[in-house]
Every structure is written in structure tokens, then in C-alpha cells.
Amino acid sequence: MNKRKRFSALVRSLGIAACATSAAHAYELGGVAIHGSLSTTAAYSDKYNFLGSTDESFDFIQTEATVNATKRFDNGLKIAGQVYAYELAGYSAVTLDFGNVDYSFSQEFGLRLGRNKTPSGFYSEVQDLDQVRIFASLPLNFYPRVYRPFAVANDGISLYGNVGAGKAGSFDYQTFYGYVSRIDNQQPTMIGTNINELTPNMIAGGSLIWNVPVDGLRVGYSYFDLFGAAITTNAQTIPGLGTTSFSGGLGYTAQVASIEYTRGKWVAATEYKYTKTTTDLANDSALASGFVPARSIPNADAAEKDEIYFQLTYQATDKLGFGTYYAYSDYQKSTIDKDIALATSYAITPWWLIKGEVHFMDGIHEIGSAGDKNPGAKEEKWNYYVVKTTLSF
């Protein structure tokens, strides 16, 4: 069965299950708790194609389906996994979000083996949980949709726990080391780039969250380092070298500082992220002859990005919520993207959500990162409208 058929079959099965249930409760099957969700997202832009054919027309840019199962044993052992199927900008796949064996020796120390979620900021591990947030989209540039399929998990080992600190509160920690699978060059984030193949290889890092002794306040820091990656570009014409391709190594690091404060029906959050991408590439014709020139692809040997957003949400009633955020992205200290978003969420039933939001954009750096082609794009100011509906059980 090909990817598209598997995706369609899973979506149909999950849709039937979600529509059949009348409350947001898990199914129980032989002591196994089963949850799932099905969502679809449509978008419209007044100027550009972004994650689909959205230029002056509504397009169904993404469909997502998740099914997860958890089995807890009396001795503290837990086995859990989640299948994630999606179609984004015409590309579809069925993947394993996570699948691990988890044992908590004590409150202070636990161990997970298998495919584990990669912590990065407060919300990377809960991107598929629409019920916990008002926005249909996490901040667009800070948590890009196109990065989720390969940035959410790694295969390896994770250590975690909660350590009490008396009057200073407590600390939740995670450390991890693992392997990230090869990235399909047909994924939306790869389309429109000059990359032919990218094999991420190893990843290591961790997160630390301080549960401050103030009700509703937590402060976090996360870090990860992707290393040992291999990259190959498509053939291109370089002055002095002719038509050639490049290959070599790639490194990527990300650091995120986060603050969240909950008071009653209000939640305020801000996160800052610094990322750095480094490459060490040589042209393949020179490598084949045994001579590696001391030159890289122009402007590709290092790239830095600073991002920050401020977000405020208000849950007016059990069904109705509102939110707003301001996001700022600085690429190489030269290219700026700004995003002001307004959002609303309404729960038709406990298991059926609809969401709508508008983004007032100033900057076009990310429209290329989404794999979309907008020839001659120059206008920095544009608007983006998103509607999303989610069924869950």
C-alpha cells in the first residue's frame, strides 16, 4: 500500500471513530488507553502562496490525523506510541511520532527508550493537542509547520524527572541522545531549496523547567545540537567551477528560553529562540579528484536567526476563547519578519473544535522556506487567514 493510500485509510478510520464518539474520553481496550484526533486546515492570503495555493483563494493546506495508545503496568512501566498521518501542501506521509518504553524509578528519575519526542520550547511536544490552545497555529515562524515531521522526535534514550527545591519550587528536566532519520527531499520544506539529500544523523540536548513558587508561573530553557549530518546539493553553475554539486557536513543548534504565566482564564507566554546553522561543503568534482577547495557555497557556511514572540490568551467561557500574539524574527541581522495574529476558538462539543485566526505579516522570508514559489515577491506586507476544525476522542 503506497503512502497516499495508507494516509487516506487512516484518515477514514479515525474520522469514523471521532464522529461516532459523543464525549472527549479515551477508548479502553484490554487496559490500553486509546486517543485520537482528525483535523483539517484551510488558509487564504491576499498576496502569496504559503503552504499551498493560497494566493487570493482558500486552499485546504493541511490534514492531520493522530492515534495514540498507552499501556500502564502496576510496576510503573509504561509503553506508549503515536501514529501521525498528514498531508501538507500536497505532500502526504504516515509516520511514528513516538513509540517508547518508559520506566519511572522515582519522581526524580525516569528513563525512556525508543522514539522519543524532542523538547524545544514549551510547546514543541504538544503541537498535535489542539484542545490545549486557542490558536490554530503556533507562532508561524517560531514553530514552522513544515519542520514538524522531522523535528518532533528522535530514536534513542531520554532521562527525565522532577526534583523538588523546597521553597524555591521544583524543576522538571529532560536530557536526550538519539538519531534523526533521513529527510525526504519531497517534503515541503525541501522543495524550492537547492538541497538534494539531507541526512540529519545524531541529536543531543535537554530541557529544564523551573516551576516557580508563584501559582501559575514557570520558566524554561531548552537546547539541542544536531550533528554529524550529511548534505548534498543539486548541480548548479558556479563561476570558476562550472556546473557542479556540493556535499559535506551540516550542523544545527537551537536554544529556547521560555516564560509562561497562568492566572485564572488568562495565559501569557513569551519565548526567545536562537538558532545557528553551519555547513562545511566542497564541490563534488574537486572531491573526486582528491582536491578540496577552501570555498563553500556563497552565504551558506553559517546562518543565524533570532526569534521572539509575546502571546496572550483568554478563555472567556468553557467553549469560547480569544488570543493574540506578536512575533519577530531576525535572519542574519538583516532580514526581518513580523507577525501580528488574532485568534478565536469555539468548542461546538467537547470533542469538536473550530478555530479562526488572521495574521498581519510584515516580511517574506518564510514563504520560500515553506517550499512555495512566489516569483518576484517583493511586497513585505501581506495578510494570512487560517480556519481549522478538529475532531478528537
Q: What tens digit of pLDDT does each residue of 375-387 get?
A: 888 899 999 999 9
Q: Which of 65, 97, 94 is nearest to 81 (CA)?
A: 97
Q: Determine the pLDDT at residue 208.
A: 98
Identify any residues that bridge with 220 across adjacent strands, giving them in sequence order. 209, 258
- How many independent structural domains does the chain possess? 1
Taking the model in full, what pTM does it have? Answer: 0.85
One-letter amino acid of 232? T
Which runs of E-coded beta strand occur in the chain? Answer: 27-29, 32-45, 59-72, 77-88, 91-106, 109-117, 153-164, 170-180, 195-199, 201-211, 217-233, 236-238, 242-244, 246-263, 266-283, 302-315, 320-331, 335-349, 352-362, 381-392
Share of residues in the chain with pLDDT > 90 (%):
58
Identify any residues that bridge with 204 across adjacent strands, giving them in sequence order. 177, 225
Identify the weakest region by mean pLDDT among 156-170, 193-207, 300-314.
193-207
Which is higher by pLDDT, 86 or 201?
86
Which is higher by pLDDT, 234 or 41?
41
Rounded to the nearest integer, the mean pLDDT of the chain is: 84
Structural domain that includes position 74: 3-392
pLDDT (tens digit per residue) in 346-383: 999 999 999 999 999 999 988 877 777 788 888 999 99
Residue in the block written with cell 543548534: 253
Q: Which of 244, 231, 249 is nearest to 283 (CA)?
A: 244
Name the band, by pLDDT with cuts 50, 70 and 90, for residue 285: low
Do 136 and 388 meet the contact criterion of CB atoms below 8 Å apart? yes
Burial of 201 (0-12, 13-18, 19+ CB in 10 A): middle
Interior/surface letters 15-25, b for 16+ CB within 10 angstroms, e for the rest: eebbeebeebe
Q: Over range 160-186, report the average pLDDT.
A: 92
In this structure, what CATH number is given to the domain that contains residue 332?
2.40.160.10
Residue 62 scores a pLDDT above 90: yes
The Cα 197–Cα 354 span in angstroms is 38
